[in-house]
Copies of this chain bind each other. A is one copy, B any other.
Amino acid sequence: MLSPTEIVDRMMSNDTMSQWLGIKVNSVSPGSVSCIMEVRSEMVNGFQIAHGGITYSLGDSALAFSVNSHGIHAVSVETSVSHLKPVKIGDTLTTQTRELSLSRKIGVYQVDIFNQEKVLVATFKGTVYRTGQEWS
């Protein structure tokens, strides 16, 4: 079985979307991987603020890294994001993951997303299905 860091490295090397977003992994512990990214000008919506898909995608990547770091393949099934404050070009976003529950087949995670001023700009929640297949 791979270590949590090896799993996250392996995932990131295939994850072209996280690469496009410029997501970097800050820290890895089983069930909680922290990420960081900067909002660029090609990431805005029609109001010139960050597209909702930016905080969503950051949260979904942090979720995927966090649950897979336990060593078992898992994919997200049901996810939501609350947009709490506008996110702007140039903002640096960091994630903080809370494992709400984890059983053999199901996990529920919350990913809070903060800007560079420690303001909570979005909160993401995800329910994942664990296939049972080991990372190897």
The interface of chain A, by Cβ under 8 A from chain B, is: 10-12, 14-20, 41-48, 51-54, 56-57, 60-61, 64, 68, 73, 75-85, 100-101, 105-106, 108, 110, 120, 123, 125, 127, 129
- B79 x A52 contact (CB < 8 A): yes
Quick one: given A77-B83, A78-B108, A125-B82, are A14 and B52 in contact (CB under 8 Å)? Answer: no
A64 to B17, CA, bound (A): 22
Chain B positions within 8 Å of A54 at CB level: 17
A116 to chain B, nearest CB (A): 18
- Cβ of A52 and Cβ of B68 under 8 Å apart? no
A74 to B44, CA, bound (A): 15
**Cβ of A46 and Cβ of B11 under 8 Å apart?**
yes
Contact assessment for A64 and B80 in the assembled complex, using a CB-CB cutoff below 8 Å: no
